[in-house]
Structures are given as C-alpha cells and as structure tokens.
C-alpha cells in the first residue's frame, strides 16, 4: 500500500520534512540522555532523526530494519502488547499516524496501556494523528484508516489508559504527507514558527500525556 501511496521522491522529501520536525519541535520533548520508543516506526523518519541515548523502532514491517540508521534498535513487536520491551524503562514513547490504523477501539486501548507500561513514572507519550473533527471529508480517503479519532476522543482514551494529558493541540500539522501545504522543509520550519497558520491548515492533533 505504501509503495503505491509514496514514491521514492516523496519518501526522500519526507526525510527532509521529518528532520525539520524533529530538530525544530519534537526534540524539546525528548531528552538526549534518555530512551525513546517509536511505535509503528515504518520508514524510521522520526527515530532516525531524533537525538537520544537509546532509540528503539517498533514495527512488524521487515523493511523497518532496513531503513533504521546505525544506533537505532528495531523491535519486531505488536504495538498492542510491546512484548519484548522492559516495563517502566522508556522516557518517551512516540506514536505518529499509527493509532487510527488499529482495527478496533479495544486494540487502541491495548496499545495505549502497553505504552503506559513501558514508560517510566513521569515518562511522556507523544501522539500525533489525523483529527476527524477537522478532516471528516478526507479521513476515509485512506484505505488503512479504521478508527475515527479526534482530540476529544483521544483525551478520553488517554485518561482511561491511566495517562495525565499535559498538552493537547487540536490543530497541529496538515492532514498528511500527501497535503500540498507545506512540503518544502523551509516551509515546514516557517509553519512551525507561525501558530496562526496551524488554526487554518492544521488537520492533525498533537498530545503530550505522562504516566
């Protein structure tokens, strides 16, 4: 599916975009001396770019191991259980555009509880994904979207899983990497520096929740 959706040119552009996202935004939530776990790491755009003492990519896709840069550990685990990862060891768990792909809400809750279990006390879960409240027409254009999530339903799910929501942005980035705005890394940097643009173009939520 992703080979059809994203060609080599798009994947190369995504690397540049994620470099800006990590260095200009996400790095502030990830301690460089800590451990970060990337759920549904896919092509490793986030985990390859973020700075941390220990970086772990979790994905059952065999291509993830090929995409991981040196120093990134790859764990072939189901994100609903995270079997093979220690309990209470991670400083940050990151989940970008993955929760909406789970088959059911029960699977969603299982994944959130698994993330809660591997986080140390005080550790943070960072979640980004399409917000059905602001992308209702485009949301189902993606065949692999199964669960409709909004910032409000996400808050409920996080609290039910035992998290405390510290930050919740209903509008953050545009809907997806297929969006026409913004695409160039320079435009992404400008976009991050302009919160009013988020209120116009933002279709994805971003949440920070702690154990």
Cis peptide before 182 (omega within 30 of 0): yes
Residue 137 has a pLDDT of 86
pLDDT at residue 45 is higher than 70: yes
Question: What is the signed CA dihedral for 55, 61, 64, 66, rounded to 10 degrees?
Answer: 140
Cα separation, 111 vs 117, whole angstroms: 10
Q: What is the pTM of this model?
A: 0.91
Percentage, residues of the chain above pLDDT 90: 82
pLDDT at residue 83 is higher than 50: yes
Q: Which domain holds residue 141?
A: 2-210
CATH of the domain at 169: 3.40.50.150
DSSP string, 105-134: HHHHHHHHHHHHHHEEEEEEEEEEEE-TTT
pLDDT confidence bin for 181, thresholds 50/70/90: very low
Pair 207, 168: CB distance under 8 Å: yes
The overall average pLDDT reported for the chain is 91
| pLDDT tens, position by position, 148-176 | 999 999 999 999 999 999 999 999 999 86
| pLDDT tens, position by position, 50-80 | 999 999 999 999 999 999 999 999 999 999 9
Residue 183 has a pLDDT of 65
- Can you tell me which residue has the tokens 């991670």? 90
Instruction: Please count the other Cβ atoms lying within 10 Å of the Cβ belonging to residue 66.
Output: 10
Strand stretches in the chain, DSSP E? 35-39, 54-58, 72-75, 90-96, 119-130, 164-169, 204-210
Residue 115 has a pLDDT of 98
Pair 108, 99: CB distance under 8 Å: yes
* Total residues belonging to the chain: 211
Q: What's the total number of domains in the chain?
A: 1
pLDDT at residue 209 is higher than 70: yes
Least confident of 107-111, 167-171, 197-201: 197-201
Nearest alpha carbon to residue 73 among 94, 96, 97, 53: 53
Give the best-scoring range by mean pLDDT among 10-19, 178-187, 199-208: 199-208
In what helix (H) or strand (E) does residue 191 lie, and over which residues does it extend?
Answer: helix 185-192
């Amino acid at each position: 599916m992703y080979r059809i959706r994203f060609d080599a040119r798009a994947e190369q552009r995504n690397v540049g975009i994620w470099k800006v996202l990590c260095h200009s935004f996400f790095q502030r939530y990830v301690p460089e001396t800590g451990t970060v776990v990337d759920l549904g790491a896919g092509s490793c755009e986030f985990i390859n770019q973020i700075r941390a003492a220990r970086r772990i990519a979790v994905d059952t896709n065999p291509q993830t191991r090929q995409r991981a840069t040196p120093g990134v550990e790859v764990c072939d685990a189901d994100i609903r259980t995270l079997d093979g990862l220690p309990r209470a060891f991670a400083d940050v768990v990151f989940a970008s555009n993955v929760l909406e792909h789970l088959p059911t809400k029960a699977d969603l809750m299982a994944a959130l509880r698994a993330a809660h279990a591997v986080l140390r006390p005080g550790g943070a879960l960072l979640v980004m994904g399409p917000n059905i409240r602001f992308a209702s027409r485009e949301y189902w254009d993606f065949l692999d979207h199964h669960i409709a999530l909004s910032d409000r339903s996400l808050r409920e799910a996080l609290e039910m899983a035992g998290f405390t929501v510290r930050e919740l942005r209903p509008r953050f980035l545009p809907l997806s990497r297929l969006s026409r705005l913004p695409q160039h890394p320079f435009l992404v940097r400008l976009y991050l520096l302009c919160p009013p643009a988020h209120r116009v173009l933002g279709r994805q939520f971003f949440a920070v929740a702690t154990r």
